[in-house]
Amino acid sequence: MASGIFAVLDDIAALMDDVAVASKIATKKTAGILGDDLAVNAEKATGFLSSRELPVLWKITKGSLLNKVIIVPIVFLLQWIYPDIIKYILILGGCFLAYEGVEKIIEYLFHRKKTGTEVIEEEVKNADDLENTKIKSAITTDFILSIEIIIIALGSVMDKPLATQILTVSVVAIIATVGVYGVVALIVRMDDAGYKLINQSNDKGFMATIGHLLVKGLPLIIKSLAVIGTIALLMVSGEIFDHNIEYIHHLDFSIPAIFKQMIISIIIGLIVVALVKIIQKIYQITLSK
């Protein structure tokens, strides 16, 4: 009896060791997507009142965890039933990311900037709607990025037993959520940490200098995240198209692959934006009749 228990424990230890090694490899392979995920979601989690930053981030984090809970079993089921469908899901997700990225560029280039009074009135009127919209957008984007993270993680352990695959993908999913949103939480609370350092040091000395750097650095980081997040959306979607559409993969632009992928992503994003605008126009005309 005792020998049987020790044998089971030995098997569990061996499984955990395999999972640890496989998780390390899978995390390395998904590092690029995790970086993009961080940039995109940090940009989406900022721009709120200080009192709403952590509650909003917590809502997004819960949505991200729910995304993983939904995606992991579905990916394993689809991998078993019809592996090719995962490629089409990724392409549709890539279209959504390209749409979001291009829409941000269009918004920046062509939409009139509002005056201070207009901004204040709009924020007061639509504060709740804006918050809910940004949360939904962040969770939806997280869903697409999570699919790619989980699929890449699964691809790195396809030669392993099923138990190792499930545990490895689950570990990567948890790391993706806790790691990304943990860093985002640190970013959005930079200014509060800075103010505390300034107050505790009576605005004197090295700690006060650090505090001022944190306070002054947050607006710069938020502005840069808006740019980095948009670029990340286009990079991820372009990579999805390049790796999953054979015609695009074999296109030769005589430029580095990353620029080719960005160009393809922008082109497809523009097409999707145009289609969405056309559908919206048709819908509005239908409602007005």
Q: In this predicted model, what pLDDT tens digit does every residue of 183-208 receive, in sequence order?
A: 788 777 787 888 888 888 887 888 88
Task: Indicate the pTM of the whole model.
Answer: 0.67
Which amino acid would we find at residue 121? E
pLDDT in tens, 214-257: 888 877 877 777 777 788 778 888 888 888 888 888 888 788 88
Contact of 42 with 53, CB cutoff 8 Å = no
pLDDT in tens, 126-135: 556 777 887 8
- pLDDT(14) > 60: no
Number of domains in the chain: 1
pLDDT in tens, 70-127: 988 988 888 888 878 878 888 888 888 888 889 888 888 886 555 444 444 444 455 5
Residue 147's closest CA among 72, 245, 40? 72
- pLDDT(265) > 90: yes
Residue 30's φ and ψ, nearest 5 degrees, are: -95, 5
Contact of 181 with 61, CB cutoff 8 Å = yes
Give residue for tokens 């502005």: 223
The pLDDT value recorded for residue 118 is: 44
Measured CA angle at 283 (ends 105, 270), to 5 deg: 25
Least confident of 111-115, 168-172, 187-191, 272-276: 111-115
Tell me the H-state helices in 203-245.
205-244
- Residue span of the structural domain in which 240 resides: 2-288
Q: For residues 230 and 228, give the distance between their C-alpha atoms in angstroms, rounded to a whole number.
A: 5
> Exposed, middle or buried by CB within 10 Å (0-12, 13-18, 19+), for 244?
middle
Tell me the H-state helices in the chain.
2-29, 31-44, 50-81, 85-110, 116-155, 162-188, 190-200, 205-244, 246-249, 257-288
